[in-house]
């Protein structure tokens, strides 16, 4: 378990702060993550990676020459927000465009996709690539749905090495696609991980058993087997991966492969070496030539006791890129010329601080809010009360939401919702105090929720609040019809962003019927509080109905059967929120 922390909610930020203080030779902090401390040649493609905290050395430890130009770092097991990614990518951009790379998880796909749109709007040519190497999470016919685990490293490195060679953005992307198509991983675990502040792991494994086919976010395995010996574990890993070769590889004999035996957090290096001796022998027996193997912790899952094996099947070009030198805090290979510091943006050294002339203190400008009518400002008070009710109901049910999520997911839904709703209420209160209208209060809350929660829920709730804010605006007092219109627009935006539909066992199974019921009730002329009451009752029933569904999207999808009988955590939290908001509407009627 994680023993050393202060406020669990601040753990990721404090860890990143300590990391940058320890590794100033390689990285410098920027809003949302880190970028290289060394200069990047003008016109070079910037490879920006990212994901949640809890996976060190991924992702911040892989920033440096020969590897990533920057890393966006989210909260524990939660993707960074689009705003964080945009910030890091803007700082890393050297004029050659940006390739955003991340593991294939719903939250990362949403946030990195949104960031790419914002960068493109800024005039920065941007492409995205999701690593999907975990063969346990989907079959070969659905390989695009697979999770990204330790295969992140060889795919990131191939693209970054190509960028270092001066290749243009489209060619760097093609290298990433080639490496991704030839990378496969498979993992096992002997115990789950425990998040900072939690008193129990996200999942447990029975004594003398192991979980097989797990992710890196505390997801349980897709099955269990008897606890193996080291040699038996090696055989399982190797034989499983050799059953699925890339389409253009007919036989492993005579092939070359980059091999990574990755520790997930608590398996000791000596144990990994005992397993690797057998992995190397089995691959040798199969005729595979191992190229520059890596044994150690490269993509972890906090303190999870487990390991994964990754094979990247190499051609001449991929082997050249895999062998290319790299110099980062956590991954070094070969030799590079002396680094050139980024003099324009390098942090001030302690020595320079000692001799520097004290500067006049910088007084931050007061936040500015758009002009609003008196009627909209009064409505903003109701919005603030509703967001306060949301934060309180989420806080009261956070443990329950985590328990529901852990049945077939990673168990962090309650934590993420608490972070997001608390930040949204705080941002809304600040905006309201400055005289903002209802629309601005909601949009400020939307940005704060997305930034602090990260993950899928952060992206979706940011979208919901922003859609409502756009519909309400700052000019008029919003009536029931306009609120219903905003909820309907939010429902459409969430489906467009995440791609889920009713029946997929997601929050959409509640959002759509809630929006429809609210529109119908306001269309009948009911006052907002009465219409909301009717729609919230519909939402509660819809959330309960998700217990009978099999998930078709998200991290729960590989564990579909386990989730039967349990409602979807996102659907359940949305239903709780709709009922809490009704209470606020009654109080401010």
**Could you list the active site residues?**
217
Does residue 306 contact residue 242 with C-beta atoms inside 8 Å?
no
Map residue 295 onto helix, strand or coil: strand
The alpha carbons of the chain give a radius of gyration, in whole angstroms, of 25
CA distance 243 to 220: 23
For residues 157, 158, 159 and 163, what is the CA-based torsion angle, rounded to 10 degrees? 90
Cβ-based neighbours of 359, under 8 Å, separated by 6 or more? none
Cα–Cα dist 322/240, whole Å:
23
Q: Where are the alpha helices (DSSP H) in 253-348?
A: 269-285, 316-323
Q: Tell whether omega for the bond before 169 is within 30 degrees of 0, i.e. cis.
A: no
Residue in the block written with tokens 């608590």:
266
| 8 A C-beta contact, residue 463 and residue 497 | yes
| DSSP-derived 3-state class of residue 48 | strand
Contact yes or no for 236/244 (Cβ under 8 A): no
Q: Which residue from 528, 453, 524, 544 is spatially nearest to 483, judged by alpha carbons?
A: 528
Q: Got the DSSP string for 457-519?
A: HHHHHHHHHHHHHHHH-SSS---HHHHHHHHHHHHHHHHHHH---TTSSSTHHHHHHHHHHHH
Distance between first and last Cα of the chain: 47
Which letter does DSSP use for residue 216 in this model? Answer: S
Contacting residues for 288 by C-beta, under 8 A, at least 6 apart:
252, 253, 255, 256, 257
């Amino acid at each position: 378990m994680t023993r050393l922390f202060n406020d669990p909610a601040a753990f990721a930020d404090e860890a990143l702060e300590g990391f940058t203080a320890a590794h100033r030779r390689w990285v410098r902090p920027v809003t949302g993550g880190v970028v290289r401390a060394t200069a990047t040649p003008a016109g070079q493609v910037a490879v920006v990676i990212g994901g949640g905290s809890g996976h060190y050395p991924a992702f911040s430890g892989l920033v440096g020459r020969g590897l990533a130009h920057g890393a966006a770092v989210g909260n524990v097991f939660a993707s960074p927000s689009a705003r964080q990614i945009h910030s890091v990518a803007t700082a890393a951009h050297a004029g050659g465009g940006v390739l955003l790379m991340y593991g294939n998880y719903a939250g990362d796909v949403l946030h990195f996709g949104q960031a790419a749109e914002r960068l493109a709007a800024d005039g920065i040519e941007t492409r995205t690539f999701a690593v999907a190497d975990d063969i346990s999470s989907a079959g070969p016919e659905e390989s695009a749905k697979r999770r990204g685990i330790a295969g992140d490293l060889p795919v990131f490195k191939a693209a970054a090495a190509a960028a270092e060679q001066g290749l243009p953005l489209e060619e760097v992307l093609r290298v990433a696609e080639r490496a991704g198509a030839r990378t496969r991983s498979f993992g096992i675990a002997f115990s789950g991980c425990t998040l900072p502040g939690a008193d129990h792991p996200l999942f447990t494994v029975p004594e003398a058993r192991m979980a097989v086919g797990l992710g890196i976010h505390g997801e349980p395995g897709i099955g269990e087997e008897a606890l193996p010996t080291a040699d038996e574990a090696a055989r399982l890993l190797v034989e499983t991966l050799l059953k699925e070769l890339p389409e253009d590889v007919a036989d492993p004999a005579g092939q070359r492969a980059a091999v990574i035996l990755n520790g997930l957090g608590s398996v000791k290096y000596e144990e990994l070496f005992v397993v690797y001796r057998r992995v190397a022998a089995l691959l040798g027996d199969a005729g595979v030539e191992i190229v520059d193997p890596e044994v150690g912790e490269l993509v972890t899952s906090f303190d999870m006791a487990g390991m994964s094996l990754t094979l990247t099947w190499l051609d001449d070009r991929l082997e050249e890129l895999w062998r290319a030198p790299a110099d980062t805090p956590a991954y070094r290979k070969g030799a590079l010329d002396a680094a050139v510091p980024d003099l324009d943006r390098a942090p001030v050294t302690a020595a320079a601080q000692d001799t520097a002339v004290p500067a006049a203190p910088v007084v931050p400008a007061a936040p500015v809010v758009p002009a609003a009518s008196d009627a909209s400002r009064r409505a903003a008070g109701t919005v603030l009360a509703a967001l306060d009710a949301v934060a309180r109901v989420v806080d009261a049910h956070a443990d329950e939401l985590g328990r529901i999520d852990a049945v077939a997911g990673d168990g962090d839904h309650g934590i993420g919702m608490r972070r997001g709703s608390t930040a949204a209420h705080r941002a809304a209160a600040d905006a309201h105090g400055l005289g903002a209208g209802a629309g601005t209060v909601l949009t400020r809350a939307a940005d704060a929720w997305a930034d602090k929660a990260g993950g899928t829920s952060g992206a979706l709730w940011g979208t919901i609040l922003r859609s409502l804010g756009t519909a309400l605006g700052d000019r008029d007092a919003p009536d029931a019809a306009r609120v219903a219109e905003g909820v309907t627009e939010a429902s459409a935006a969430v489906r467009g962003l995440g791609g889920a539909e009713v029946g997929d066992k997601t929050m959409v199974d509640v959002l759509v019927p809630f929006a429809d019921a609210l529109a119908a009730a306001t269309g009948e002329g009911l006052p907002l509080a009465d219409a909301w009451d009717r729609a919230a009752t519909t939402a509660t029933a819809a959330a309960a109905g998700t217990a009978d569904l099999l998930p078709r999207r998200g991290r729960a999808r590989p564990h579909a059967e386990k989730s039967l009988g349990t409602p979807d955590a996102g659907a359940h939290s949305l239903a709780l929120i709709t009922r809490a908001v009704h209470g606020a509407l009654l109080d401010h009627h």
